[in-house]
Structure 1
Amino acid sequence: MIFLDAAAATPVRREVLEAMWPYLSGEFGNPSSHHSLGDAAAAALAGARDRAAEALGCRPGEVVFTSGGTEADNLAVKGIALARRAADQRLDRVAISAVEHPAVEESARYLQRLHGFAVDVIPVDRYGQVTEEALAAALRPETALASVMYANNEVGTVQPVARLAALARSRGVPLHSDAVQAAGWLPLDVRALGVDALSISGHKLGAPKGCGALFVRGRTRLEPLIHGGGQERGRRSGTENVAGAVALATALSLAVSSREASERVADLRDGFIAAVLAGVPGAVLTGHPAERLPSVASFCFPGTSGESVLLELERQGVICSSGSACAAGSDEPSAVLLAMGIDSAVAQTAVRFSFEPSVTAAELREAAAAVRAAVGSVRTLGAAG
């Protein structure tokens, strides 16, 4: 099997398992307990926070551990917008890009539905990028928060986050960025990026599912979503997942220290894209041709069904996806591709290939040959039908 769906999930790294194992076994204490087991858990949690902060270029107190990227996005969008409006009732709008992950979009729609916020959708160009002009047009004096993802989970397009954050800051608007897909591939120094909040998720980095983090810049107002005992400095109550925090911090540190793989994988990605475009008549690369994640190659194959191509590829031993794994059970065309101006019928032929850092040239050569065969087979069957 050739696994090319790393944007959905990655296998847990051995180093991560070894780091978290003590806190799933002997060191099982509650970090809020005032005894030796609790103290050991608290020390492990503090160490994980320190390592995560080092990887993100921020202070430990600016890291909130969560259950994953979805919770981190929800906490950023809802938490910042609600807190800012509580301080100033005029701040009743949020601006999100047209290609956001559902965790961001649905959080904004929740604010609209139950709290009376207006949602301004920032358009993207045909490559899925937000321009500074588009963001400027969406920002208003009433905007409580803007959210633009760092790198798109479906097509891999990378946004000019630092420039967008600087623009938002000049208008007095905090900027949140979903960096779930960017982590491990792109620089995550939040000071250089200039963002006020940034979300990451462990299972994209070689940590288990169910752990993530949100960077929140110091002094940024944040209304908690989960209330209780006041853990995480009152920003996210509940007994902390110590093993998950250790796992996330370990995986994040490993990913940051091994980012040299990005250039190698980008070269392999470009070769794979060229082979698919040369070998499959009518194939269309989606996303930005250059400003894209090293790990993502995404296409539309007009005249096919994306799901049929996926099934045929799996039969040939290649595992990939039709886009986001997060829109559970949806057979609608991708909202991301529609926002980029791609026709609805063509959008339903989308296939995404996403790579681990360990991917090889041989695997991608074999995968490109399988794509040619799979698309040809599907088109032949479609013509016969």
Structure 2
Amino acid sequence: MSVNIDDFEEFLTNDFNEVRFANDLLKSTNNGAESTTLDVDTPVKKINFDLKEIESRVDTLINKNPTIMVNQIYKEKSIDDTIHSGLKSSLQYLDISYQRLQDDVLIPYTRAQKLQTILNKIHQTSNILRDSLIYIHLATRIQEIMDEEQKLSIERASQLTVLYSQLQLAVQQNVNLKSLQVIKTLEIQVGKDYRRKLLDYLALTLTKECLNTFKIQNNKDTIKGLAKNLFILSPPEFFNSINKIVLSHVSTNSQVLTKTINSVKSFPEIFDEVVTKSHSMYTLEKILGDVNVKTNSNLLAEYSSQEKFQGMTIRDLFWSRIASSFKREIDISFKRGGPVGKALQKNRQVLIDSINNSMPNSSDRKDYQKHSDMMLKSIAILSLEI
């Protein structure tokens, strides 16, 4: 039994593409045609002709080989029956096994997943409720302290700082807390209004405790507590308060030094007083350095780590501002000339000696030289001729 397929081999190739074939057929049919109308009928007729030809050959094949065709059909049926009968028991076993898998594993697993989802949501809800109760308790306690008739004290401010740090921790541990309306309401009064009032108290009290050398020397523990509480509540507020304290001391001492320009002979005594007072900046550094915060850090290190200060300490800031202010006034007076300018130039060495002799008293350590250099540079213009 054989059939001629020579005319149809193209249809049996693995890379046969009906779209490409149809396109090629259209192109070959319309190749060189002058008409602007696409001839589709001719390709269709050719395909129909091929279909009829194939049907004719199939009929011929069946008519010439009926016995072989029937035997082939029965043979394939027999093979199907043999395969089915041989695999029937195995297929039934697979069906039973799959059903057991479905009943004993898949369905229970699906149910367990749903239960787990429900359990997770219940657990999340429970956590929110628990944390909200903690938040409400802390907020209520803050309200009670803030609403008391007596004014804020350092001791009560410390209590409030602890409560606020616990309040902040509760929010950090469950960020969904702020989605609750009751927490939003409390956040306005407790988290903003009362907190602002506490920050103002801590900042103002810290500034007052550092107003002069005597207070800084004798209220070290109080300053430590205030500074730490302020830093815990708001590092920016802490940095700002220390800056104000330092600049307040700078302003006072700069004014005193400026007056010596018109009476240069008083400079040694006045500068010695300024250096003595500046020792409070060294004391303030020690106080802040003794207050540990975070891990392997302290308040002085945190203050110096500010980007705008580039590692400057409190004394660095103090003496750089003192020197800058004094230099500005010295330059103006010297350039103006006259008796004051001449007196400054004449007593240049007196100023240098006073700076070198007094600066060691600005610190208990031998790290005063860079500050001494700042002051010496502030009078550098006096080496010029008027």
After TM superposition, the score normalised by the length of structure 1 is 0.23
TM-score by length of 2: 0.23
Q: Higher relative contact order by CA 8 Å / sep ≥ 6: 1 or 2?
A: 1
